[in-house]
Amino acid sequence: MIDDPLSRSAICYENELNPAQLEAVRFMNGPLLVIAGAGSGKTRTLIYRVARLVENGVRPDAILLLTFTKKSASHMLERSALLLDDRCARVSGGTFHSFANAMLRRYAPGIGLPHDFTIIDRSDSESIMGLIKKEMNVPSDRHHRFPGNRTLINLFNRAVNKGISIEETVANAYPHLSKFMDAIILAGQNYDAHKAKHFFLDYDDLLIYFRNLLRDNAEISERIQSRYSHIMVDEYQDTNQIQAEIIFLLAGDKKNIMVVGDDSQSIYGFRGAKIKNMLEFPDTFPGTQIIRLEENYRSNQPILDLTNTVIDQVSEKFSKTLFTRKKGGLKPVLAAMENESAQSHYVVEKIKDLLANGSSPDSICVLFRAGFHSYDLEMELNKNRCPFVKAGGFKFVETAHIKDFMAYLRVMANPLDRISWHRILLLLDKIGPKTAQKIYESVEHANDGLWGVKTVTLKSSAAPGFEELKELLLAAAETETLYIQQIGERILNYYVGILKKKYDDHPKRTKDLEQLLTIMDRYDDVKQFLSDMALEPPNSSGSNGKLTAEGSADRLSLSTIHSAKGLEWRHVFIIWALDGRFPTLRSMDDENELEEELRLMYVAATRAKENLFITYPMRAYDRASGLVLDRPSRFLDAVPDYILEREFPTGIGAIYWD
DNA sequence: AGCCCGTCGGTTTTT
DNA sequence: CCGACGGGCT
């Protein structure tokens, strides 16, 4: 072996990167903006840069890599470690939310937060909203109905993420709710008060508290800044105002900050993402070097012709022109279908053809705008015995049995968690909201943690079930040193009884829970486990115990377009490319939203490497608006026939005119 | 009258 | 899966 470690570089950067990638990888200090087109080797560039920094003597744990999913962070660090050595595995990485969480846990006391604050997820927020609405008792009738919990939480999220007032949000995005303006504002205040009182932090709060910490506490801020010498941010086009502020504050005076993104793929505007963060990055950080990655390594030329035509229709973007060396390949197809079931049928037949010709199921993906668009197709796939995995839409963690299980755990971790109490009590026969509320109040009043349940004795027919629950909870309270695995076992033991009564498919659900126990095994701390589950829920069931459940080789993928970002398949279907569904009707009266839908179409089409099939039913009735939808997505109007093959059902093409 | 339970209709997109 | 709603039990 060579003696002097500096004289050798394990990696031959020149041979493995193109000139633009190489330039980005070699960039050491100062602000850098990398505009990376779809499939242009963005991940590769980040991985090599991590390796390069480490090789040049930057301490691994002084490098911070922020991404949007934990999966992509750990994936990147694994690959860097493979490329160089395990020093790269010590690089700090994660999502904005998980990083904020880690920093807040450490420095919480500095801002008057207990270190064991609770992270609440979407459904927790909705449940809290439910309580608040009940307490507020807003007059509401059939024709002037007060918005649902989900709508209200969406509204508040939107306001926070965009950094505007609730009043303004209602006026802009929910004008039909202006008549409830005062009540909505009050509901928002009550929601905040409830969170503050119980030290509940929702996703937005994690970012806000962290931003405030950096902004208002100079001492802690400096400590964090000095700890991280080089910061990298992936998917920068999807950051919102608060995240941009966090980046700015983290960068400190050194400003060794590299952001990577593609403004053409910004699809999270609904949760406050601002393309402007990216477009204005050079102004925020004077002296920014800009590097464009324009060679596409993913798709063949016919697909790129289509995607270039699609994205040409957006008004505001960094100019870039993608090119590929993959010539040849088939023209993308736009196939009209008589109705939804014909569409499902068509897709299944095409999939069977692909499989018969030797393609592997995991090289195929079907994409759609919204989770429920695939219901009919899922049935058709089942009928034809085609196994699939679905990403997006319902989450593993959002299924009832997982949530039930988590609720027991949460009550044990925090006996004042009213929402979870409510949930586990309603699982018992003869106990409804009223009884549950009384029990909770009794526990709260006892002010003795879990021991408070001892003060409650029911006299009704609900008593036997409740006594069993009491036993479970008291067992958990008794043994402070109970291992987390034992707690899990006990809960499962207790809960299977309820599970069997409640669901016909209980064997499958029991399996899910057993798998959850194996995930729990890796933790020694219940609170840590609960935080991680809230931030990074495993998103599919029936997989092999890993938190990052990848689709296995014998299944094809169904996915919302949002969940497919960053991924690629040889064969891609886009269904429901029907004007009114995609773009959705609700986006049509707002130029910005419409443009986001267009970028969404771009993201969908750029997932394909070899084959792209786009389909739409020619007639669909939209109940909400009373309209009949009968033309293909407007985003494809501008695409000429020599780029996109248009197909009609036999015998219909002739009578189908515009 | 108060409370529980079964059914039905409607779902953007996600950390 | 959730919330709203109406029937029926205690």
Write out pLDDT tens, residues A536-595: 766 544 333 333 334 456 788 888 898 888 889 999 999 999 998 889 888 888 888 899
Task: Answer for A371: CB within 7 Å of strand C.
Answer: no
Phi and psi dihedrals of A313, rounded to 5? -80, -10
Q: What is the pTM of this model?
A: 0.84
Task: Answer for A587: CB within 7 Å of strand B.
Answer: yes
Please say if the pLDDT value at position A21 is more than 60.
yes
> CA-based Rg of chain A, rounded to a whole angstrom?
27
Please say if the pLDDT value at position A612 is more than 90.
yes
Task: Answer for A429: CB within 7 Å of strand B.
Answer: yes
CA distances, A288 to each of A20, A43, A316, A341, A562 (Å) = 16, 21, 20, 52, 30
Sequence-separated (6 or more) residues with CB below 8 Å from residue A395: A537, A539
CA dist., res. A487 & res. A413, Å (int): 11
For A437 and C10, how far is CA from C1' in angstroms?
19
Q: How confident is the model at residue A257 (pLDDT cuts 50, 70, 90)?
A: very high
For A117 and B9, how far is CA from C1' in angstroms?
37
Nucleotides of B under 7 A from a protein CB: 2-5, 10-15
Please say if the pLDDT value at position A9 is more than 70.
no
DSSP state of A117: P
Q: Identify the residue with better confidence: A505 or A345.
A: A345
Task: Answer for A587: CB within 7 Å of strand C.
Answer: no
pLDDT of residue A592: 85
Q: Which pair of tokens denotes residue A201?
A: 């932090």
For A77 and B4, how far is CA from C1' in angstroms?
53
Provide, rounded to the nearest whole percent, the portion of chain A with pLDDT above 70. 92
Q: Which of residues 41-80 of A touch strand B (CB under 7 A)?
A: 68-69
Query: Which residue carries 């006391």 as its tokens?
Result: A109
The torsion angle over the Cα atoms of residues A124, A126, A128 and A134, rounded to 10 degrees, is: -150
Average confidence score pLDDT of chain A: 85
CA dist., res. A347 & res. A366, Å (int): 9
3-state secondary structure of A233: strand
Enclosing H/E stretch for A159: helix A149-162
CA dist., res. A62 & res. A227, Å (int): 6
Amino acid letter for position A456: V
Please say if the pLDDT value at position A630 is more than 70.
yes
Q: What angle do CA A632, A638, A644 make, to 5 degrees?
A: 70
Q: Which residues of A310-322 are buried (b: 16+ CB within 10 A; e: fewer)?
A: bbebbeebbebeb
pLDDT of residue A251: 92
Q: Which of residues 398-427 of A touch strand C (CB under 7 A)?
A: 398-401, 403
A203-216 and A149-162 helices, crossing angle to 10°: 20
Would residue A141 be called left, alpha or beta, if left means φ above 0 and alpha means ψ between -120 and 50 degrees? beta
Q: Which pair of tokens denotes residue A203?
A: 């996703």
pLDDT of residue A35: 93
Please say if the pLDDT value at position A143 is more than 70.
no
Q: How confident is the model at residue A386 (pLDDT cuts 50, 70, 90)?
A: confident
pLDDT of residue A656: 41
